[in-house]
Structure 1
Amino acid sequence: MDKSFVETYFDFSQIDTAAFKQAIVETLYMTGISILFVGVLGLLIGLMLYYFSKSHLTVYKVLYSVVSIISNAFRSIPFIILIILLFPMTKALIGTTLGSTAALPALIISAAPFFARLVEIAFREVDSGVIEASEAMGASRFQIITKVLIPESLPALISGITVTTITMIGFTAMAGVIGAGGLGALAYQAGFLRQRYTVILFATLLILLIVFVIQWLGDLLVRLTDKR
């Protein structure tokens, strides 16, 4: 006998509270650790792209093209393929290809180039007159980066890291399908494979809740840092 809509999606006997708590922790762990590395790497790569693109020297133009091609290549590879492609490297670094920690290399490598492009775009939007004035006053490149570029582009950088974080939450869900843990793994293993649609629904709702909270925090920080 076929189940009704309510019986299919709201059968609370399928909900394992402990499993959901563990899945939430794993999702936040993968996202949190990855975004720390992505933030640092993306900022450094973004700075390289920004300064290489500004230079008129041939060597820097070549370097810009090389970094840009590598960045675009990793951004273009579908995440599920990238994580499988990196299995040997993950095995060498982590010692296993299963679990939340094993998903970190693929998460970082896939998201860092994406954030780097957002960083480059944010720096390009900084008023060139402000940068030129700082250079005229004798500011070093480090001072220009820390006192001009980053502060002036902070709202755009926060917006970029917010978008990147939300994208990574989607990646963690995909990683869960091949054994990384988290809400994606719970939805697939305890939900789809066992035909428990209540588990799938509530895992989806929790992912949406996490995304909405991150977006709200990001928008709040953008408003607080925007001087316009």
Structure 2
Amino acid sequence: MKLIYENSLCGLDVLSDWIKEGNIAIEESSDGVILSNLDDEKLGDYAHWTIWIPDIFPKNVQIEWDFKPLREPGLCMVFFAAKGRNGESIFSSKLAKRSGYYPEYHSGDIDAYHISYFRHKYESERRFRTCNLRKSYGFHFVTQGADPLPPIEDVRGVYHLKVVKMEQNISFFIDDLKILEWYDDGLEFGAALTDGYIGFRQMAPMKAQYSHLKIWDLDSER
């Protein structure tokens, strides 16, 4: 495996070239960048946002970052293997403009896998916490695992998150604990996704700190 992208996420300018969809509040921190929303939560599902790394990544990747929830309720999500439904860039002018509204991502112009890993937005999610993996286009729920992340008052330090996508196998870990695993057979929910873009999403009024992002090409040697 070869490290192909690294970002400490320390400083206000570390996201300057990332593609922002929705209104994001960015705060500088010596321990990483702190992200929340600028829009009033009264906008409901239109107050949320998504942010993308502007590079396309290979089909077999490992994505790692440190995460610390700072304010809830809210929800955090990672997208990967994202491309336009005809294989084009998700930033193509041919696609409808996105603003952070969730249906634009699961039932719009793009295909992607996405894992929601801090699901503390709604009462039902806080009562029984899980991490969910979905495949889009189509909002297909494919698997889930128990979420070990605690409520804000019990957070101690940062949590190390890792997504591994190797061929049609997808795994997700928190602090090296395997949370979920799924094999995409390429049949039930359409062809397995390959290369694509990586992005992060938050639901208002969530506030969280991100740091030490690393992305590895699992096909390449060091």
Give TM-score, length-normalised by structure 1: 0.24
| Higher relative contact order, structure no. (Cα contacts within 8 Å, ≥ 6 residues apart) | 2
Q: What TM-score does the superposition give when structure 2 sets the normalisation length? A: 0.25
Largest Rg, 1 or 2: 1
Judging by fraction of residues, say which structure has more helix: 1
More strand by share: 2
